[in-house]
Structure 1
Amino acid sequence: MPLPIETLLPDLRDALRVHAAVVLQAPPGAGKTTLVPLALLHEPWLVGRKILVLEPRRLAARAAARRMAQLLGENVGETVGYRVRLQTVVGPNTRIEVVTEGILTRLLQDDPALEEVGIILFDEFHERSLQADLGLALARQSQQVLRPDLRLLVMSATLDADPIAVLLANGSEKAPLLTSEGRSYPVETLYLPREDHDRIEKQVVRAVAVALREHPGDALVFLPGAAEIRRVATHLAELGNTSWEVYPLYGDLSPEMQDRALAPAGNGSRKVVLATSIAETSLTIEGIRVVVDSGLSRVPRFNPRTGLSRLETVRVSQASATQRQGRAGRTAPGWCYRLWTEAAHAGLAPFNAPEILQADLAPLALELAVWGIRDPGELAWLDAPPAGTFAQARALLHSLDTLDAAGKVTSHGQQMATLGLPPRLAHLVLRGKEIGQTALACHLAGLLLERDPLRAPQPELLDIDLGIRLEALAATAKGRAPSQWAGMQADRGALARAWEQAQHLARQLGERRLVPDPDPAAAGLLLAFAYPDRIAQRLGQPTQATSTERYRLRSGPTAQLTGHQSLGRAEFLVAAHLDGRGNAARIFLAAEITKQELYTHFKEEIERAEAVRWDAAAGVVRAQATERLGALVLQEKPLAQTGEVAVREALLDGIRQTGLQVLPWDDGTEHLRARLGFMRQVVGDPWPDVSDAALATHLDDWLGPFLVGMQRLDDLRRLDLAEALLSPLAWTQRQELDRMAPSHLVVPSGSRRPLDYSNPAAPVLAVRLQEVFGMLETPRIADGRVPLMMHLLSPAGRPVQVTQDLHSFWRTTYFDVRKDLRGRYPKHHWPDDPLAATPTARAKRRGT
């Protein structure tokens, strides 16, 4: 049956004869990936040049090349070949090369004009990977500046194509947009809403059982990751249906295992392929009639605040759901089961979020630096790199010696780019070579390029030590690939791929033979070259009482080891893998580094300072010489001599942190402070503000001079706090304080009674009623401006009257009070005329 794209091929050829850039939109199954390159092979403008087909994944690149070679009746490597990382299958007569995204970037960097290339096809551009966006931006500039005859063709099944047509415009004229209608075969969509109480794996298994019971053909099941794939495979096996053969399909599998999933099922059995998003595009899996879509995908999310990435499970977009659905209609009519509701489908995001908006931009920043660009705005982007994330990426490159002070790429950075590795790992490998640790660096980089090869039934049982993984890799290199290692399950495929990666890196570095078992002792140091911001120091002493150890990262946040880890007693380690949750980050892979290695290899970055600081826990000023690496304290030792001013400032800082209550307040100083507060309220400036806030703000001025010879909180007991409070006053002010706000007042009985200024609006004189017989008017202070609030007390010292009008009290209220007091205190003298009576401080009349 003809593929839908075939009717559009003449229009496509006509467009490319006239235009340098074209956009092609074709639904899944239309045949664009394999038929378009072949249709262009003999165009006159292509004579003597090649076709580059960009595929986002290695699996899709190999499959597309094999299919095109099959259609030509040839083997891969003749007219059609492919280049992916670690594998190149091309020959001298190859005209169509299917490449992955990193390969395209490398080809452009090596030859910006791409003299041997006539056209670049960007397949499945809707995935909007970081490398695809970068490749298109670089190719577009190359076309505009160096190669106006270079053609660009952007292809996708599910994409808002108009913005791309605008991006590739020739002046004011948009690039032609061609659309292929229809798919190979119809697909019926069925919605099976998920049940909240069940894990997704169990619901997927139920859907697979229903789908295979009701429909013919094989099934393709989309799951978010390898862990879910393993669990679903286990559940399907438990059903005991021998007519099914289950095949996993995800990026970390070996090419042989991936090819098994793509091949037809044998012996008349039915095939169930459990796949991640890797199977969404550019693949025709023989026999698939049914798709079961969990609706989930696992994507990396970069947090610019922490500088860490973590995988998040997210809902797919409508575009991805359409791509997945299309896998069921490639060879015959099919059915797609979606584990969500039709209403929920309408609420999904229309398209995938571009990776450039949420990824670590360090690889992109390095490639742009090698291209000669510091400002991404010099290139045309569908979505420009976020300024903040890009700036952070360049800061990382500076720390890896990739950029010089002027922001230009260094020779070291040029070497890093040629390795085709993430910048951190490229730096690790090159620094490893510099210090004679090439083999270990290649082993480490090989491991870190793969998913962790060790697994445990429970997360807390997984030992995070990279040294253990290096030992397992050494066994693999010697031909003894383990299935179990150090009490954990080992992924032989991952170890084999890590060894292959390590050998490839060694060849790139000019090593003829890679040592299979390098000494892992320097693993932490090499990791520190790659992850200088993730050098970590243990907080506190190791303990057996808890299974969690906390570490401070050089960049500032804390992270933790969970479970009883072999590295839990390490004072310093380097975290290679963290989950990006700020101060709650968990370390998943790490290696120990020694303090001596830090001093030897990071000595230029260690900051040395003499500091006099407040130790809040001990309540003392510490004078220490400190050596720090970022937020890590490598060494502290006491200073032999310390400046008096610095000690005083640190002690003042301690008082501020602790609060003014730490000072030796007593009744006398509190009373003095209240009198000063009264004067501030009555007179105002220049009387000092003695509120808590003001005293704390001006602590240096009024308290500082009295702290000579003190460095502990305990020393404050020797402080003359009253004199410190009075220190801002001139001599005349001190005299004025005693006159206007006296501490005591002599009453008619001759007693000297204290005044209470706690309420500065109404200072209080508390005195026994009998002591003020004969006092006609209420006493006043502050040069007569403020009457005292008189608390007239009983012989027992309890208030019987509160008044500011003593004269009125004698004339009226006294007689009622006298009647009550005579009943309660009959032996005391309660005269009929209090103004004529003799005041007395005695409790009783004489002779009683």
Structure 2
Amino acid sequence: MTPFDLDRIGHGLPFAAALPALRDALATRGTAVVQAPPGTGKTTLAPPAVASADGIAGRVVVTQPRRVAARSAARRLAALTGTGVGTLAGYSVRGDSSVGRDTLVEFVTPGVLVRRLIADPDLPGTAAVVLDEVHERDVESDLALALLCELRQLRDDLPVVAMSATVEAGRFARLLGGAGTEASAPVIDIPAVLHPLEIRYRPPLAPRLDSRGVTDGFLDHVATVAADEVTASGSDTLVFLPGVREIDRVVRSLTARLGGRAEVLPLHGGLDAAEQDRAVSGSGRGDPTPGRGAAGPRPRVVVSTDLAESSLTVPGVRVVVDACLSREPRRDAARDMTGLVTVSASRDSCVQRSGRAARLGPGIAVRCLSEDEFSRVPAHRTPAIATSDLTAFALDVACWGAPRGEGLALPDPPPSGEIRRAQSVLQSLGALDALGRATDRGRDLARVPADPRHARALLDGAPVVGRAMAAEVVSLLTSGRRSPAGDLVADLRALRGGRAADHRTWEREARRLERVVRSGGGPGGMPIEDAVGLIVALAHPDRVARRRGGQYTFASGTGAVLPPGSALTGHEWLAVAEVARASGRAAGEAGAVIRAAAPVDREGAERAAAGLLDDDEAATFSGGALTGRRIRRLGAIELSVTPVRPGPAAAVSAVAAAVRSDGLSALGPDDEALRLWRRLALAHRELGPPWPEVSAEALADRLAEWLGPEVDALTRGGKLAGRGVGPALRRLLPWPEATRFDELVPDRLQVPSSSSYRVDYPEPGSDAAPVLAVKLQECFGWTTSPRICDGRVPVTVHLLSPAGRPLAVTRDLEFFWREAYPGVRAEMRGRYPRHPWPEDPMGAEPTRRTNRRH
């Protein structure tokens, strides 16, 4: 006998009509996908209905994407059953839990469920799971679905229900049902029950967004629109904005504009439970009568994040004012930054928001953009797995036994590049082995309910700064709060002194984290300035930063600047917790601004980022000599530079780098070396192996082989002379083929006058022919053009005048003498009468001399 009175709980809720279909699906398939718009009562009625189904004996766990939604849903169900929270209905979220031995419906966040699954995949004591708001597509919600799909293959007695507010139910049904369309889970579709809804568009004159985020001009516009609507209608109004800063500004503006004519309330995840309850409380299921007027109760204006889009219901709303903006995670791989970015909300999100106005009667939804602009926004929200930092996800799937998430029924696969980066981070923490499997250290980190980097800071920092201090700093880092001035030491002091609004929430989380550290906590006593910097550095060793001029260089190699007027200005070392992309003069050349950091000294930086410490010997080759340095680095940060005599490996690397950059000319070769280099290049071009390639890249790759003795001399302080390059190049000649090198690619060729002249070989990489330049008179009788490389390569002959100027260029001497020479003879014999110009050049005697009679 179930203790839930479903008729009473479901009275007036559209979802009540779906209960028979839900019972049938659970009885026949053990699973179902519920598609129902916000406000139909699925979150209120489905969990107790599942708990009341035949065969369900135990606790039903229900996920909500946010802590505030989990607490609110538990309070709502408890109120409808006439019990207190923690009896029939309870909740468990990070840092807060209210459940009892008799709790039958427990609302949790997806992260809590994932932790339980990894700790014990059988989920003992859990009789069924309901995944609510799966359409929101946060990473932990996707992962919880995938793990449950796999668990159901082993435990088919575990009913699983997924609930979505969008039209993607078919996708979740296929995943939950198993492989193949025929195995899809039953879909229970609850149509929206809406009254007439009027959609209006009120575009602003100023831009909605600029490089810094939401513009103040646009926020003033939203406040104006909301004030106009409240004044005209007198109805409860729900205003959607992307974040806390925007909510605070609009709440202040509306309070001033409306005076005492309306109650203006904020709603976001950073508020305490009492403030959240105040925003979502109302007259039960609302007053359907709009325009209550001055004599009736004051209208309520709730200014909310997308919490009220589907996770929470604000009762009594008849007007929605939507900024049509959303805050989504985005990853900057180049700067290794992940943060929330304000973007246009998707159309399906805006439609859900608008529907909140028409649940009780005719409603009005005002979108603060143009209708044309609305038509161009994305149709669906971007899945968080495609844009988020996946370090925690990568550790979770490794602990589950599915490295990289391979084989899991995820709605969308994780990006391969981000998974590789996340695995690299985890391997640097010792959390994964070379194959991507979780280590004992990784499982210890996974047991801490925090990002793996924060878990590392907690576990490794406690023995140094004390458990309490480590927990306090990590609680600060995990809180998600925006640092007012970017100075984390000042933030911690404000929280300790109770001067921050969220100090109670921070304190509860700190004490919980302190209990997580089972043993090994140090005595503490470290000054707060040093302790905060060390813990932040332990969490983000790649963001240890050193000042260089006007900006800070991170150990990761990226850079950022402090905002103007920062209290951290002047510190040489910082441990950075948060950095954001930015543009304009304030962001400097780095294009990024440090949003939250703490000072750290060099000792603390090296201690936290010990895995990035490296002693690197570097050498530079220039002007025929080597200079060496030993560089101690913390990642990309140079700590010290000491002159040293380079070792052989560093010397080879330096000379090779110079050759790659500037070619053979980097070695200062003389003319003989350059001729030999060109001859070797032609031999390789025409004959191929074993004749060596002598491009800059090839010479650098084999540098130790052919220039080894000369490099050894450089390490002893010697210099490389240009005349030594040629003999060194000859070491590349293959044996025994080298004995024919001068025959195949001769340095000089003999001409009919018995003189010999150098062949001009082309530059390596060119397809030009070798050239022989010789005076025309020395070639009389030469009818066969010269060829080299065993006759494969014709030599181009440049026939010169007595003054050494070109008269003809040919590869066919016989043709030249027969066809072209008569014209040359007619033109030249008068100009050079002392030199022979016979009528029959092929029968004449070649000569270097002038005519005897002269």
Give the TM-score range, shorter chain. Answer: 0.7 to 0.9
Q: Find the aligned partners of 1:145 and 1:683 in 2 and give their Cα distance.
A: 67
Q: Find the aligned partners of 2:318 and 2:523 in 1 and give their Cα distance.
A: 46
Question: Equivalent residue for 2:245?
Answer: 227
Give the match's secondary structure for 2:173: helix
Quote the offset at 1:711 in angstroms: 5.8
Is the counterpart of residue 30 in structure 1 residue 40 in structure 2? Answer: yes
Deviations 1:652-705 (A, max 9, x none): 442333332334456676677778889999999999887778767766666555
Q: Find the aligned partners of 2:689 and 2:56 in 1 and give their Cα distance.
A: 91
Moved more, 217-226 or 809-818: 809-818
Which segments of 5 or more consecutive residues in structure 1 lack a partner in the other structure? 456-461, 482-491, 823-827
Question: Equivalent residue for 1:419?
Answer: 448
Answer whether contact 1:778 1:806 (CA < 8 A) is retained.
no
Moved more, 231-240 or 314-323: 231-240
Is the counterpart of residue 218 in structure 1 residue 236 in structure 2? Answer: yes
Moved more, 221-230 or 441-450: 221-230
Question: Equivalent residue for 1:550?
Answer: 553
After TM superposition, the structure 1 = structure 2 runs for residues 43-192 of structure 1, keeping only pairs within 5 Å, are 45-46=55-56, 49-91=58-100, 93-108=102-117, 112-114=121-123, 116-142=125-151, 145-146=154-155, 148=157, 150-169=158-177, 174-183=184-193, 185-192=195-202
Deviations 1:486-538 (A, max 9, x none): xxxxxx32455333422332244479999999633133333343334x15454
Q: Find the aligned partners of 1:661 and 1:290 in 2 and give their Cα distance.
A: 77
Which segments of 5 or more consecutive residues in structure 2 lack a partner in the other structure? 1-10, 210-217, 284-293, 583-588, 763-767, 789-793
After TM superposition, the structure 1 = structure 2 runs for residues 351-750 of structure 1, keeping only pairs within 5 Å, are 351-371=380-400, 376=405, 380-383=409-412, 385=414, 389-390=418-419, 392-403=421-432, 409=438, 412-455=441-484, 464=486, 468-479=487-498, 481=499, 492-509=500-517, 519-532=528-541, 534-536=542-544, 538=546, 542-543=548-549, 547-553=550-556, 557-563=557-563, 573-579=574-580, 586-597=593-604, 606=613, 611=617, 613-615=618-620, 620-623=625-628, 637=642, 642-643=647-648, 647=651, 650-664=654-668, 709-710=713-714, 715-717=719-721, 719-721=723-725, 740-741=748-749
- State the number of aligned residues: 792
Quote the offset at 1:448 in angstroms: 0.9
Quote the offset at 1:583 in angstroms: 8.0
Percent identical across equivalent pairs? Answer: 31
Distance 1:551 1:361, change over 3 A: closer
After TM superposition, the structure 1 = structure 2 runs for residues 301-340 of structure 1, keeping only pairs within 5 Å, are 301-302=330-331, 308-340=337-369
Q: Find the aligned partners of 1:78 and 1:501 in 2 and give their Cα distance.
A: 24
Amino acid at match of 2:111: G
Larger radius of gyration: 1
Q: Find the aligned partners of 2:34 and 2:686 in 1 and give their Cα distance.
A: 85
Distance 1:23 1:605, change over 3 A: same
Give the match's secondary structure for 1:435: helix
Q: Find the aligned partners of 1:118 and 1:506 in 2 and give their Cα distance.
A: 32
Question: Equivalent residue for 2:5?
Answer: none
Answer whether contact 2:236 2:299 (CA < 8 A) is retained.
yes
Distance 1:672 1:46, change over 3 A: closer
Moved more, 28-37 or 382-391: 382-391
Amino acid at match of 1:615: T
Q: Find the aligned partners of 1:343 and 1:736 in 2 and give their Cα distance.
A: 76
Answer whether contact 1:84 1:103 (CA < 8 A) is retained.
yes
Quote the offset at 1:447 in angstroms: 1.3
Q: Find the aligned partners of 2:150 and 2:682 in 1 and give their Cα distance.
A: 78
Quote the offset at 1:324 in angstroms: 1.1
Q: Find the aligned partners of 1:730 and 1:786 in 2 and give their Cα distance.
A: 21
Deviations 1:716-744 (A, max 9, x none): 45534565567759788669988943699
Q: Find the aligned partners of 1:653 and 1:573 in 2 and give their Cα distance.
A: 34
Quote the offset at 1:412 in angstroms: 4.6
Q: Find the aligned partners of 2:449 and 2:86 in 1 and give their Cα distance.
A: 23
Give the match's secondary structure for 1:421: coil
Q: TM-score, normalised to structure 2's length?
A: 0.76
Answer whether contact 1:792 1:802 (CA < 8 A) is retained.
no
Distance 1:439 1:621, change over 3 A: farther
Question: Equivalent residue for 1:458?
Answer: none
Q: TM-score, normalised to structure 1's length?
A: 0.76
Distance 1:340 1:586, change over 3 A: same
Answer whether contact 2:328 2:384 (CA < 8 A) is retained.
no
Question: Equivalent residue for 1:488?
Answer: none
Distance 1:291 1:596, change over 3 A: same
Question: Equivalent residue for 2:329?
Answer: 300
Give the match's secondary structure for 2:246: helix
Give the match's secondary structure for 2:90: strand
Distance 1:800 1:69, change over 3 A: closer
Give the match's secondary structure for 2:714: coil
Question: Equivalent residue for 2:280?
Answer: 262
Give the match's secondary structure for 1:710: helix
Deviations 1:129-149 (A, max 9, x none): 32223334444555553571x
Distance 1:26 1:674, change over 3 A: closer
Answer whether contact 1:193 1:341 (CA < 8 A) is retained.
yes
Moved more, 686-695 or 97-106: 686-695
Give the match's secondary structure for 2:578: strand
Answer whether contact 1:129 1:355 (CA < 8 A) is retained.
yes
Q: Find the aligned partners of 1:161 and 1:153 in 2 and give their Cα distance.
A: 11
Give the match's secondary structure for 2:501: helix
Q: Find the aligned partners of 1:271 and 1:513 in 2 and give their Cα distance.
A: 51
Give the match's secondary structure for 1:659: helix
Distance 1:131 1:520, change over 3 A: same
Answer whether contact 1:84 1:100 (CA < 8 A) is retained.
yes
Q: Find the aligned partners of 1:787 and 1:175 in 2 and give their Cα distance.
A: 81
Answer whether contact 2:624 2:719 (CA < 8 A) is retained.
no
> What is the RMSD of the two structures over their aligned residues, measured on CA atoms?
5.2
Amino acid at match of 2:597: A
Distance 1:71 1:576, change over 3 A: same
Is the counterpart of residue 3 in structure 1 residue 13 in structure 2? Answer: yes
Quote the offset at 1:195 in angstroms: 6.1
Q: Find the aligned partners of 1:572 and 1:240 in 2 and give their Cα distance.
A: 49
Answer whether contact 2:241 2:247 (CA < 8 A) is retained.
yes
Distance 1:646 1:322, change over 3 A: closer
Give the match's secondary structure for 1:76: coil
Quote the offset at 1:280 in angstroms: 0.9
Moved more, 232-241 or 117-126: 232-241
Question: Equivalent residue for 2:7?
Answer: none
Q: Find the aligned partners of 1:13 and 1:714 in 2 and give their Cα distance.
A: 89
Question: Equivalent residue for 1:201?
Answer: 219
Deviations 1:348-386 (A, max 9, x none): 555434334443333344444555665745655444555
Match of 2:306 among 267, 272, 277: 277
Moved more, 159-168 or 304-313: 304-313
Question: Equivalent residue for 1:291?
Answer: 320
Q: Find the aligned partners of 1:250 and 1:641 in 2 and give their Cα distance.
A: 61
